[in-house]
Structure 1
Amino acid sequence: MTRARIWVLLGEKTGDNNQLLRLAEALGLPFRAIELRYTQLRRLRPALLGESLASLDKESRDEIAPPWPDLVLGIGNRSAPVALAIRKASGGMVKLVRLGNPRLDPRNFDLVITTPQYDVPARSNVIRLPVGISTVTPVKPTSREREWLKALPRPHRLLLVGGDTFMWRLTPAIVAEAAAYLEAIPGTLIGCGSARTDPEALAALNLRKGLPRYSVLLKDADEIHVTADSVAMVSDAIATGKPVGLVLPQQTLAGRFFYGSGLPVPVRDIRRFWTGVQAAGLVGTIDAPRSGKLNCDPLATAVAAVRALL
């Protein structure tokens, strides 16, 4: 059996897992994906857990055993103590790469790859990408998908809808207003929700039946409009190089409190991401979408940085 040179620590969030797997696949080396399940100790901050498997359930702890890999990929903060424990058990031989915000000093890891919404301290081992790693891979449309799209008048305006977060609320009224604006313009509105989209917001979107796959819709669209709550979908849209328009959500009560109080924003401040892509000319508004060129390929940049560790 070939030893997996890379371990990929997966969690509960599909979007996070897809980013990790996309990076692992792009590295072109044997890897092992490990699905971690946690106990209530997962609620503790990584700094309190330290180099520990204590937050894992027994079955997951049993998965963490030699032979050790050369490198461990993880995302966010929940699996950070697990990665640190693996390196300790290996005698310090394992390299650690984190995506997102580990909520620990980056110097605890060999490489941290993050994006602007996270307030990760600047360090020599931190790479700050302008957008997230797109997990979309090109696929060939089926004959049914081609016919479905061919029947709709051009231009095709794709509206991607996310959902609520702790700081931001995507109301059905916001979605309905965006859909009504795009429907009033010559061409065709094609709406697409996500796993986080509220049923009332989906109803306001008035989804068409038989919708093609997400990657097919991105490739086909003439314009892409995205609710700004989703960094992943905005990143996917920008990666196409097509005109992109942001649909802004409204602040929740928590959002109004933190943004208005001057207190540090917990975990992430998505406004920094919006500011970055707007200043770079990568996105516009729903009435004036813009297209721009990224100053780097996020996936290629991440792959090159990780390979340098191996």
Structure 2
Amino acid sequence: MADPEIWALYGRRAGDNRQIATLAEATGLPWRPVQLAFNGWSRRPNFLLGATRLSLTREATAALRPPWPAVVIGAGKRSVPAALWIRKASGGATKLVHIGRPWAPLDWFDLIVTTPQYLLPERPNVIINALPLSRPPAPTPVAADLAALPGPRLCVIAGGNSRPLVFDDAAARALGAEAVRRARDSGGSLMVATSPRTSADAATALQEALAGADVPVRLSLFGAGADRYLDFLAAADAFLVTDDSAAMTAEAALRGRPVALFRLERRPDRKTWRIDIARRLAARSALTRRAFAALEASGIVSTDRDLDAFAQSLDQTGLLQGGMRAATRASEELAAAAAAVRSAAGLRV
């Protein structure tokens, strides 16, 4: 009998899609991407939507037709109703795998592969990895102009606003000043890259902060000229990364160089404040803790991201210190997650 097929349910986020594809490929099973697109119904809570195609556009709905896969792999809130509908259409045969935070009752899924910032409880169907699903990068030659820079070469990666973290003009200037100080103290140079989430104002402020630097600087602004982000990653002797993105932090750590995190200001909004208050109230007794955990597990209360928990996990395991530890850990975690998917599909691991 042929190996069962996997459907990789792609959404709007490139980072989620990369993790989905990485896991699907690692299983060694036949798989194909299925692009989902969503309408306004997708904004409703998943525990109200349930198994439905109502939140999909007409084109996305048309793509969901038999033969049904043995496994679907999705990520993000919006893919969940479609995944549930596929399982229902298959007569319950299709297994559901979700990456990250499910925004739904945990027992809806056969397997959840997540990381510490989502604060999910340990359960038989939940794998909590230290790093996002990824393959360690292959060694890449250092570009000649970057090799000529004085070492150590510090690669600075700037992110953007990520509730409740704020990367505004002031934060960009502070990052620029800290980067210049580190390069000056080390006698090295700077390679600075912004990301798609860096606002135009923050990028301008960062550029201005670096304009008068007394150390060699190479600057790559996303969307303006050649994107040298990958060149900078390959040439880095060390990293300074804003702490708003688990993916950026992990990508730096996988290069085997020391990674320092630049802490952004936390400005909680009303949703973050409400969740924090709820957690404080829940912590008052064992009974309230169990009640709050039950609400989270049911999907009625969605866990908020805690990037401090993610960073603390990396620091405690030494994955930010450089060397092969992060790459080895990523490979092991990917292999274990792939084996769990194969097991869910009913194949021998």
Alignment of 1:1-310 (within 5 A): 5-134=5-134, 137-138=137-138, 140-141=140-141, 146-170=143-167, 171-185=171-185, 186-203=187-204, 204-205=206-207, 206=210, 208=219, 213-254=228-269, 258=273, 262-264=277-279, 267-283=304-320, 290-291=321-322, 293-294=325-326, 296-297=329-330, 298-310=333-345
Higher helix proportion, which one? 2
Say if 1:281 and 1:221 are closer, same or farther in 2 by CA, change over 3 A. same
TM-score, with structure 2 as normaliser = 0.78
**Counterpart residue identity of residue 52, structure 2:** S
Q: Tell me the secondary structure at the aligned position of residue 184 of structure 1.
A: helix
State which drifts further: 183-192 or 242-251. 183-192
State which drifts further: 200-209 or 82-91. 200-209
Deviations along 1:229-252, one digit per CA (max 9) or x if unpaired, are: 010011112222321101011012
Q: 1:20–1:75: 8 Å Cα contact kept in structure 2? A: yes
Say if 1:268 and 1:101 are closer, same or farther in 2 by CA, change over 3 A. same
* Bigger relative contact order (CA 8 A; separation at least 6): 2
Q: CA deviation at 1:139?
A: 6.3
Q: 2:180–2:190: 8 Å Cα contact kept in structure 1? A: no
Q: CA deviation at 1:149?
A: 1.7
State which drifts further: 79-88 or 174-183. 174-183
Deviations along 1:199-247, one digit per CA (max 9) or x if unpaired, are: 2332315553676754443232111121110100111122223211010
Deviations along 1:247-298, one digit per CA (max 9) or x if unpaired, are: 0110124189628953348532222112212222333xxxxxx337348333
Say if 1:8 and 1:268 are closer, same or farther in 2 by CA, change over 3 A. same
Q: 2:164–2:272: 8 Å Cα contact kept in structure 1? A: no
Q: 1:169–1:252: 8 Å Cα contact kept in structure 2? A: yes
Say if 1:198 and 1:103 are closer, same or farther in 2 by CA, change over 3 A. same
Say if 1:10 and 1:82 are closer, same or farther in 2 by CA, change over 3 A. same
Q: Tell me the secondary structure at the aligned position of residue 97 of structure 1.
A: strand
Structure 1, unpaired ranges of 5+:
284-289
Q: 1:139–1:215: 8 Å Cα contact kept in structure 2? A: no
Deviations along 1:8-45, one digit per CA (max 9) or x if unpaired, are: 11111111111111222222332211111111111111
Say if 1:155 and 1:37 are closer, same or farther in 2 by CA, change over 3 A. same
**Counterpart residue identity of residue 308, structure 1:** S
Q: CA deviation at 1:64?
A: 0.7
Q: 1:137–1:215: 8 Å Cα contact kept in structure 2? A: no
- Once superposed, what is the RMSD of the aligned Cα atoms? 2.6
Q: Which residue of 2 aligns with 1:287?
A: none
Measure the CA separation in 2 of the matches of 1:282 and 1:259.
32
How many correspondences in the alignment?
300
Measure the CA separation in 2 of the matches of 1:55 and 1:86.
14
**Counterpart residue identity of residue 309, structure 2:** R
TM-score, with structure 1 as normaliser = 0.87
Q: Tell me the secondary structure at the aligned position of residue 308 of structure 1.
A: helix
Say if 1:104 and 1:173 are closer, same or farther in 2 by CA, change over 3 A. same
Say if 1:183 and 1:195 are closer, same or farther in 2 by CA, change over 3 A. same
Q: Tell me the secondary structure at the aligned position of residue 112 of structure 2.
A: strand
Measure the CA separation in 1 of the matches of 2:144 and 2:245.
29
Say if 1:46 and 1:256 are closer, same or farther in 2 by CA, change over 3 A. closer
Measure the CA separation in 1 of the matches of 2:253 and 2:62.
41
Q: Which residue of 2 aligns with 1:286?
A: none
State which drifts further: 177-186 or 130-139. 130-139
Measure the CA separation in 1 of the matches of 2:19 and 2:318.
24
